[in-house]
Amino acid sequence: MRIGILGGGPAGLYFALLMKKADTRHHVRVIERNPPDATFGWGVVFSEETLGALRDADYETYAEITDTFAKWNAIDVRYRGQTIRSRGHAFSGIARKDLLRILQQRCRQLGVRLEFGREVADLGPFEDDDLVVAADGVNSLARRLHEPRFEPSLDLHTTKYAWFGADLAVDAFTFIFRDTEHGLFQVHAYPFDAHTSTFIVEAHESTWRRAGLDQMPEEESLRFCQDLFRPELGDHKLLSNRSIWFSFVTLRNRNWHHGKVVLLGDAAHTAHFTIGSGTKLAMEDAVSLATAFLRHPADLETALTWYELDRQPVVERFQEAARESATYFENVSRYGGLEPIQFAFNLLTRSGRIGHLELEKRDPRFVAAVDRWFARSAGTAARAGTAGGPPSAAAAGGPLLAPPPLFAPFSLGALELPNRVVLSPPSEDDAFDGLVGERHGAELAGGVAAGGGLVLTEAVAVSPEGRITPGTPGLYRDDQSVAWRRLVERARRAGGARLGVRLTHAGRRGATRPRRRGVDRPLREGGWPLLAPSPLPYLDGGQVPRELTERDLRVVLEAFAAAAGRAAEAGFDLVALDLAHGYLLGSFLSPLTNRREDGYGGSPEGRLRFPLEVVDAVRAAWPAERPLAVTLQADDCAPGGLGLDDAVAIAASLRAHGCDLVEVASGWTIPADRPDYRRFYLVPASDRVRNEAGVATIAGGNLTTADDVSTILAAGRADLCLLDPRLYAGVDQAR
Amino acid sequence: MEVGVGLPAGVPGAPGDLVLEWARRADSGPFSSLGVIDRVAYDNYDPFLSLAAAAALTSRLRLVTMVVIGPLRNQAMLAKQAASLDALSGGRLTLGVAIGARHEDYEVMGVDHRDRGRRFDAQLAYLRESFQDGGPVGPRPAQPDGPDLLVGGGTGRAFARMARYGDGYVHGGGPPRAFANAASRAWAAWTEAGRPGRPPLWGQAYYALGGDAEAERGAAYLRDYYAFTGPFAERIAAGDLTSPQMVKDLVRGYEEAGCDHLVLLPTVADIAQLERLAEVLD
């Protein structure tokens, strides 16, 4: 086979040598525009897993690479004057120029033709080749020539970074955070030989501009960074090698091959540098592509398809993790209220690849310290900036054993929750005339017995018109609160969980059939007139709700307050008001559903006005020592609808009006929304509300394991988590 | 997890008597269901007619569309066909529906594909009401409240639609990991919608058992069937299950991923394919 490779970086060289090694009859040629000793960037990081792949693929280069390695296993987070160290991570680094030298040497030894300093303008020089490998980087010429076939997409990130070296060898993967008058700067530093480290400086673009870095020549910006990180650098120097400021571009390609041309490494994909995996992915690509030709030597198309199938899922997972990581660093100033140990845990778990459990395997002492800190600060972390004491509990002679965060108690004002899991059994829509019965009692007691810290009822209507279905339970008559009281007493005997009631008014999503066979299906008979902020039907052709008059507003408000009073009599520990999912109060919040022109619509304040009046009325009717929660629409998932910025502002107002806890929700405001149900989908909203509005949160959103919960809690991204207990049902009976 | 088998009705050139013989034999095999696919601008049998024929020759198997492309069809006619099939089969129909990906099907039907999502929503609501309440379009389905409606698709919109109107989710195929990912989204959408219980999850995969010749025929069919996806067709063809071990691995993977019903669709129209699959599953 004649193989032409464009680009003499690690991916191109490694693929070249693997192919030549597999069959010396292959004619393999690498064309590189730079001279052999030119290289940009400093060190390259590998994980243990990658090294395994390199060892299996070519032991000679593996041995040489690992002989040259700087190895370390710690990650340091330097933040607010403290250094938090976490161990057990096993990294290796090598200077990029050494890596290239080793690979070039091996290529020459095997008989690969290397043509340096040769610029090509098209793929003409590869005309006679059977296979053309585009390993020519993020701006790949080959890719640009066949763009419609590869279908690339580019995403520009909002931080600026410069890739420096430093003439000191840090002894850990080091993150440094430095607050300045311009904003926050951060450093990602790691060693690559005995004397030198990669030292990447990153800042939000606005910070970078305020600091004047957009105007500075290269020399001056290097001095700026040198001065900024003097405390860490001491007398050591930052080194420049075309170290100018960039915005990172994430590149994806739908297809990685076209005819005989195949993309490799950065030409095919990039992943944000904050997870440090560009070279790793590129060299793994090379191994995969070489393996593809071992498996399918006779069939180019099948081999290239095999390569895509093998690599694309892996790369997509890395790109997803890299996206999470990049987002973290873009918004890291949000976490200024976190204690250093929680800040560090949050940073280590930012990409979603590593959770509480994995960190515990790597560094049990670190995680024990996190758990101790978490258990001690239980409840007090809800308000930003008032978090618990220093991380070294052991020094104080306190207990060394602490439960994982899921099992840490939580105090919400005077209310103590035994753990951090919220259970919320779904509705069967089987209340009769708003009255709960035997099944509801069993469900509530079952939730408590299942072991949660807080059990929330299904939605309970504050008025007959506020029911979702005819089977929605109510708290609008005294006999209903008597029935609830019996259920609450029964549930208390089942365990230590606290009990909350969800109060709702369905608004324009009311008068529907029981939800066993679908939601939002209008009642055929026995329906009732619907109320909404604006006379817009929920579904095309559905019932047009009546626009609430001033008088209606008073009636609804009093219904909420009266229901809260009955909830108190029934003995509930907590009331959760429903401001979400397109039900009545939620539809006041959203500009998609609130078109009012009086004081209850229009501006964000106008749309929030009635829900806040309800919060005030409920707060007044609900015992002061018992906490008030709100289920808040954080994202309408529709153009022109509520988004996370709105949610933060609304949550801050709710907090000021005596709301103690916010459960975030998304979607369902209008039928034509575009929600996203990926893993952890509500966590970003919870994170922002908690850390920007300073109110305790409940996060749900495709959480499936106890480890998910402990990870989110320890990272300070929520205070409580919704976990579906049905996920665990039946496991102990299996086999 | 239950495992079903597809009819060869989706493979071009499959003789009619093969489709019928396949159905007859499958009824006494280790399968729980018979599945069909739906295309219009393609050389395949009509899904409802295929299943109706199969209904007459079987007594036990669940009959499932994986999937019927809803917006291509007039909703009243779709409701009538589905209700009729359910009634004729003694309540054995499970109706999988989705939006389809091929514009040429819309073109030959003379149906605009641009607002198909909105029309699909309306259609699902209509099907549900028609099955449950009767109305002008009969007959009454044999299953009380009509056949289970499975909704497919991989977007957030599709999951929300499934949670709003569906009784379960039908996945479009892929490795177990992809299925598990979709399953967790389906469950999350279901929970966010306030639905009680949990959605049944249906999966599907292609197979061609025998030797290299069968593998090549299967791959050629998938390349042709998915030609509209461009280069992606190659990848789908590469996923064809061509050995007993691959079938077993996939079945185990789907079971672990929480699948309730898996349907294995043949890519070679040959009765030996049914026998080989039965051997692997036995």
Residue A430 in contact with partner chain B when CB distance is under 8 A: no
H-assigned helices in B135-240: 156-165, 176-192, 212-225, 232-238
Chain B residues with CB under 8 Å of a chain A CB are 118, 121-122, 125, 128-129, 132-133, 145, 155-157, 159-160, 163-167, 175, 177, 181, 184-189, 191-198, 230-232, 234-235, 237-239
Give how far the C-alpha of residue A595 lies from the chain's centroid of Cα atoms, to the nearest Å.
33
Cβ neighbours of A305 in B, within 8 Å: 234-235, 237-238
Contact B239, B221 (CB under 8 A): no
Which helix (H) or strand (E) segment is A586 a member of? helix A584-589
What residues in B contact A427, CB-CB < 8 Å?
Answer: 194, 196
Which three-class secondary structure state does DSSP give residue A158?
Answer: strand
Do A675 and B230 make contact, defined as CB atoms within 8 angstroms? no
Residue A50, pLDDT > 60, answer: yes
Using a CB-CB cut-off of 8 Å, the residues of chain A touching B121 are 671-672
pLDDT at A63 over 80: yes
pLDDT digits (tens, 9 = 90+) for B56-70: 999 999 999 999 999
CB contact under 8 A, B235 and A309: yes
- Residue in A295, A677, A708 to test binding to B, most B beta-carbons within 10 Å: A677
Better-predicted residue by pLDDT, A334 or A556: A556
Interface probe, candidates A517, A663, A722, A728, chain B, greatest B C-beta count within 10 A: A517
Residue B156 has pLDDT above 60, yes or no: yes
Closest-approach residue (CA) in chain A for B129: A521
List C-alpha distances in Å: A709 to A56, A551, A717. Answer: 37, 44, 10
Task: Give the residue-averaged pLDDT of A156-181.
Answer: 93
Contact B95, B149 (CB under 8 A): yes
How large is the average pLDDT for residues A473-496?
Answer: 97
Write out pLDDT tens, residues A105-119: 999 999 999 999 999
Judge residue B8's burial from the number of C-beta atoms within 10 Å of its C-beta, 0-12 exposed, 13-18 middle, 19 or more buried: buried
pLDDT category at A386 given cuts 50, 70, 90 is very low
pLDDT of residue A231: 93
| DSSP structural state of residue A336 | G
pLDDT at A730 (0 to 100): 55
Measured CA to CA, the distance from residue B259 to residue B3 in angstroms comes to: 10
How far is it, in rounded angstroms, from Cα B282 to Cα B280? 6
Residue A126's SS3 state is helix
Task: Report the pLDDT value the prediction gives residue A384, as an integer from 0 to 100.
Answer: 39
- Report the residue of B129, B226, B234, B240 to disrupt the A interface, i.e. the one with the largest count of A CBs within 10 Å: B234
Residues of B in contact with A675 (CB under 8 A): 156-157, 159-160, 189, 192
Rounded to an integer, the average pLDDT of A598-609 is: 97
- Distance (Å, whole) CA A35 – CA A139: 19
Residue B134 has pLDDT above 90, yes or no: no
pLDDT given at position B276: 98
What would the pLDDT profile of B186-226 be if each residue is shown by its tens digit?
A: 999 999 999 998 899 999 999 999 999 999 999 999 999 99
Q: Do A258 and B155 make contact, defined as CB atoms within 8 angstroms?
A: no
CB pairs under 8 A between A and B: 111
> In this structure, how many other beta carbons lie within 10 angstroms of the beta carbon of residue B233?
18
Q: pLDDT-derived band of residue B102, with 50, 70 and 90 as boundaries?
A: confident
Domain topology for A2-326: FAD/NAD(P)-binding domain (3.50.50)
Mean pLDDT of A192-201: 91
Tokens in use for A2?
A: 């004649």
Whether A399 has a pLDDT exceeding 90, the answer reads: no
Across the range A678-698, mean pLDDT stands at: 96
CA–CA distance, A647 with A631 (Å, rounded to integer): 11
| Cα torsion A668, A672, A676, A682: sign | negative
pLDDT of residue B256: 93
Residues of chain B found within 8 Å of residue A298, distances taken between Cβ atoms: none
- ipTM comes to 0.93
| Chain B residue numbers touching A672 (CB-CB < 8 A) | 118, 121
Candidates B224, B282, B264, B280; CA nearest to B64 is: B264
Task: Give the closest-approach CA distance of A427 to chain B in angstroms.
Answer: 6
Contact A198, A190 (CB under 8 A): yes
Are A644 and A662 in contact, with CB atoms under 8 Å apart? Answer: no
Beta bridge partners of residue A577, listed in sequence order: A503, A630
Strand, helix or coil for residue A401: coil
| pLDDT computed for residue B219 by the predictor | 95
Taking CA A686 as the corner, what is the angle to CA A682 and CA A687, rounded to the nearest 5 degrees?
115
Q: How sure is the predictor about A712, in pLDDT bands with cuts at 50, 70 and 90?
A: very high
- The reply to whether residue A301 touches residue B234, judged by beta carbons under 8 angstroms, is yes
d(CA A169, CA A172): 9
What sign results for the dihedral spanned by CA atoms A28, A34, A35, A41?
negative
Inter-residue contact B166 to B197 (CB < 8 Å): no
Mean pLDDT, residues A157-184 taken together:
93
Cβ-defined contact of A702 to B184 (cutoff 8 Å): yes
Tokens (6 digits) for B232:
């992606």
CA atoms within 13 A on the CB side of B125: 20
Nearest by CB to B235, from A305, A468, A516: name it: A305
CB atoms within 10 A of CB B219: 22
- pLDDT tens digits, residue range B220-248? 999 999 988 877 888 899 999 999 999 99
- Domain parsing of chain A, residue ranges: 2-326, 422-728
Between 3.40.50.300, 3.20.20.70, 3.40.50.10860, 3.40.50.720, what CATH number should domain A422-728 receive? Answer: 3.20.20.70
What pLDDT is stored for residue A396 in this prediction? 55
Instruction: Select from A625, A553, A643 the least CA-distant residue to A589.
Output: A643
Please give the pLDDT value at position A726: 63
User: In this predicted model, what pLDDT tens digit does every residue of A222-245 receive, in sequence order?
Assistant: 999 999 999 999 999 999 888 889
By Cβ distance, the residue of B175, B186, B238 closest to A306 is B238
Nearest to A199 by CA among A43, A380, A329, A67: A43
The neighbouring-strand residues paired with A201 are A162, A187
**CB contact at 8 A, B203 and B263:** yes
Determine whether A335 is an active site residue.
no
Active-site residue among A583, A600, A681, A728?
A583
What three-state secondary structure class fits A81?
A: coil
Whole-angstrom Cα Rg for chain B: 18
Task: Return the residue of A nearest to B122 by Cα.
Answer: A540
Task: Of B78, B2, B3, B88, give the one whose Cα is nearest residue B38.
Answer: B78
CA distances from residue A604 to A406, A553, A595, A599, B39 in whole angstroms, order as listed: 36, 18, 12, 11, 48
- Enumerate residues 528 to 587 of chain A having a beta carbon within 8 A of any beta carbon in chain B: 539-540, 581
Summarised one tens digit per residue, pLDDT across range A630-680 is 999 999 999 999 999 999 999 999 999 999 999 999 999 999 999 999 999
pLDDT of residue A391: 47
Query: For A28, how many CA atoms within 13 A lie in the half-sphere containing its CB?
Result: 26
Binding-face residues of A in 370-399 toward B, CB within 8 A? none
pLDDT of residue B114: 87
Q: Which domains does chain B have, with CATH numbers?
A: 2-214+243-281 (3.20.20.30)
Contact B194 A674 (CB under 8 A): no
The predicted pLDDT at position A390 comes to 45
Instruction: Spell out the residues 6+ positions from residue A670 whose beta carbon is closer than 8 angstroms to its own.
Output: A538, A582, A592, A593, A636, A638, A641
Residues in CB range of A536: below 8 A, 6 or more apart: A508, A544, A545, A593, A595
SS (H, E, C) A622-670: CCCCCCEEEEEEEECCCCCCCCHHHHHHHHHHHHHCCCCEEEEEECCCC
Structural contact between residues A454 and A444, judged by C-beta atoms closer than 8 angstroms = no
Separation between Cα atoms, residue A539 and residue A520, nearest integer Å = 8
